[in-house]
Amino acid sequence: MKEFKKYYLLPATPEEVYVALTNPITLQIWTGEPAEMSTEPGSEFSLWEGSIVGKNLEFEENKKIVQQWYFEGEPEDSIVTIKLHPHKQGCSMEVKQTNIPEEAYDDLVEGWNTSYAGALLAFFEEQ
């Protein structure tokens, strides 16, 4: 199992990024797909028409999101922690994901860089 950690700089406040990551309507706008999301710990979520599914574990408003992402047939939970830090250019989004299956790692990193953080960056640049 592998681990991924990276910082993404976004031209928005931590509050704006938090809303973009937790509000299903805003999620649908920047992902281009229907999204199921709630800030209720223990609730299930679904992004990109089920490409990413899991359970919401913890929320600290405007600062932190912790989720469990499901990988079929894997014995260990993959935990995603997103921390939002104020930055002079907007927001530094720290992403850490643990217990990534070896065979899924390259695709997952590409997904973070282009589909997730890349789409989020494009969304805020268009504002």
Taking only the tens place, the pLDDT of each residue in 58-92 is 999 999 999 999 988 777 889 999 999 999 999 99
Contact 68/77 with Cβ under 8 angstroms? yes
By the 10 Å C-beta count (0-12 exposed, 13-18 middle, 19+ buried), 65 is classed as buried
Q: Give CA torsion, residues 64, 67, 69, 75, to 10 deg.
A: 120
Alpha-helix residue ranges (DSSP H) falling in 32-112: 105-110
Contact 101/74 with Cβ under 8 angstroms? yes
- Backbone φ and ψ for 121, nearest 5 degrees, come out as -60, -45
**Measured between alpha carbons, how far is 120 from 127 in angstroms, rounded to an integer?**
11
Total structural domains within the chain: 1
Residue 38 is part of a domain; what is its CATH number? 3.30.530.20
What domain range includes position 36? 2-126
Q: What is the pLDDT of residue 94?
A: 98
The predicted model scores a pTM of: 0.94
> Which pLDDT band holds residue 118 (cuts at 50, 70, 90)?
very high
